[in-house]
Structure 1
C-alpha cells in the first residue's frame, strides 16, 4: 500500500524526520507527529513557517509535487507588517526583483484574518505603532524563503506564514500537528523531449 498524507506542520518544527545538526539538544521534527515508515516530504516548509505539507512513500509522486519544473501552485496566508497598497500588491503579482532574480508572476490579494486560525506559540511580535494585515499569496516556484523575501522587498516584512494549499490539496479540517491519509493521486506522464519538439514546430 502506498501512502499519501497531508500534515499541518506547527511552528518551530523541522520539516524532516531527524535533527542531525543538533544531536545534543534535538529540536522537534516530523517524527514527533508522524509514525509511518518510508514516507518523505514532497517539498519543504521552513521551521518558522506553518501549515500544509504533503508526504508520500512514492518517489515519483514526491518528485512531481516538489520539482519546480511542474510549477504546482502553492498558496500562503501571510501576516505582514503594515497594510500593502495597490502598488505593493501589483509588485507581488508582476514579479519582485530578488537577489537571485525576478520572481514569476503570482496572485496576491488582501484578506481578512483566516477563520478558525489557531494561536501561534510563541505569538508574533507586535509593534503598537505599526498595524498588520493578511495577504493571500499564490506562487508557482519554490526559492529559499521566497515568500518572506517577496513581502520584505515591497516594504511589508512577514510576521507569520501559513501554507494553506498545494495544488488541489488544502489545509481544511486539520489542526496543527494533525495528519490524515488521502487517496494516492495518479502521476501525470511527462512528455518526452522529442514530443515537445514536434509540438513547437
Structure 2
C-alpha cells in the first residue's frame, strides 16, 4: 500500500506528537504505514507513506536518486547568476549539493492559504520550481539562502512519479505503489587494443 498525503504546515512527519507539535496520528491514516522520507515541520506538501519496507527504501534512500520537486517561495527575485548557482550546485557546510533543476514559475494554481500566512514584504517575492535528487537536512532552504534568497514557503509537489494532484492539506489517498524502475548507471566498456 502507498498513500499520498498533503502534509500541512506545523505537522510532524511522524505519528507521535512532540512537545507542542502534533504528529500524523490525527489524520485517520491506516495502521502500519510509515513515512517514506521526511518533510520538515515548517514545510508543506507531498509525504508518501507505505507499509512496504522495500518501497520505503526505494523512495527515501539517496542511492536511488529519486527526483523531488518543490515549489519554493523565496525572498526577492533571483538573478541569472543565482539560478545558475542552484542548477550547478551550491557549497553548503556539509559539502556541495548535486546539480538541480530550477525555474521561476508563477504562483502555483489552486494553492491553499498557509496557516500562519507568509509575512508580506515590500520587495517582491518569487516562486521557483526546484528539483533535487538528494535529501539533506533542510537542503532546499539552505540552498536558496546560500544564493541570497531565503525560503519563505516550501511545498513539496512531487516525488518521482507521485504528485500532490489536488490534495488539500491534511487529505490523503491511496496511489499506485508500482515503483519506478531504478536508474542503473551506464557503464562504459573499455576495449583494449591488441
TM-score clears 0.5: yes
Partner of 2:80: 86
Q: How does 1:14-93 map to 2 (within 5 A)?
A: 14-19=12-17, 21-22=18-19, 26-93=20-87
Q: Deviations over 1:98-150 (max 9, x none)?
A: 0001100000110000011000000012222x221101100000000000000
Question: Quick check: 1:61–1:187 contact (8 Å CA) kept in 2?
Answer: no
Instruction: Give 1:156 deviation, angstroms.
Output: 0.2
Instruction: Give 1:184 deviation, angstroms.
Output: 2.0
Q: How does 1:149-164 map to 2 (within 5 A)?
A: 149-164=142-157
RMSD: 1.8
Unaligned 5+ runs, structure 1:
none
Report the TM-score when normalising by structure 1.
Answer: 0.89
Of the candidates 97, 108, 126, which is equivalent to residue 133 of structure 1? 126
**CA 1:187/1:77 → structure 2, altered by over 3 Å: closer, same or farther?**
closer
Query: Runs (4+) of structure 1 moved beyond 4 Å?
Result: 186-191, 198-201
Question: Quick check: 2:4–2:48 contact (8 Å CA) kept in 1?
Answer: yes
- The alignment of Structure 1 onto Structure 2 pairs a total of residues equal to 189
